[in-house]
Amino acid sequence: MFNLFNRKKEAGTNVKDIIWISTEAKWKGLVELWKKNNDTVFIFWFDESLWQAEQSLAPHPTADMNFTAAREVHRHLTENRPVVFAEHFPLKKKEQELFKDLGLEEVKVLSALDEPLFKKFGSDKIIQMMKQLGMNETESIQHSMITNAIQNAQEKIEKKLTIEQTAHSQNEWIEKNVNP
């Protein structure tokens, strides 16, 4: 009928965000997802994040984990396999383009509140509040309001960006493109 209270659904891939307080907890969550389905493809936007994940997970028996950089992923690598992005790219449009190229209708994105993208939007206060509420660092949160907030932040960055400069880490990307 009129749909007065529901937001108009945007075209594109449905993103399901899974957020942890710390990156260390996020890597543990990544391992748990892999244990549920070891055919999962984990995609990283930044080389530094890929390297950090490999280093952090080296002690775990995860030699068969399928990690790949976003710039190297192709549809044939992801067909009929679960796909999880291990981080957000600061620009929603760029994420949606890759999701479309890979033919993804729904995708999980793992994040941590201590990542540079979140720190840019005041995550330190959120971390403090979550700890005061008794949230355990190994617990994750998921909610459409969080996904909407992330997408709004990405859109704010897109509006301010004139020319994108590439980077090897999320922090470097933000320094070059958001804080020039």
CA 61 vs CA 23, 25, 34, 121: distances in Å: 19, 17, 11, 35
d(CA 55, CA 117): 21
Token pair 């990283």 in the structure block, residue: 44
pTM reported for the whole predicted model: 0.88
CA distances from 138 to 64, 106, 119, 141, 164 (A): 23, 24, 19, 10, 34
Helix (H) or strand (E) holding 160: helix 144-160
Question: pLDDT of 75-114, one tens digit each?
Answer: 999 999 999 999 999 999 999 999 999 999 999 999 998 9
Torsion of CA 158, 163, 168, 171, to 10 degrees: -50
**Chain Cα centroid distance, residue 84:** 8
Give residue 32's identity as a one-letter amino acid code. Answer: E
Q: Could you give the domains of the chain?
A: 14-177 (3.40.50.300)
Q: Supply the pLDDT for residue 146.
A: 83
Predicted local distance difference test score (pLDDT) of residue 3: 47
pLDDT at residue 24 tops 60: yes
Residues in the chain: 180
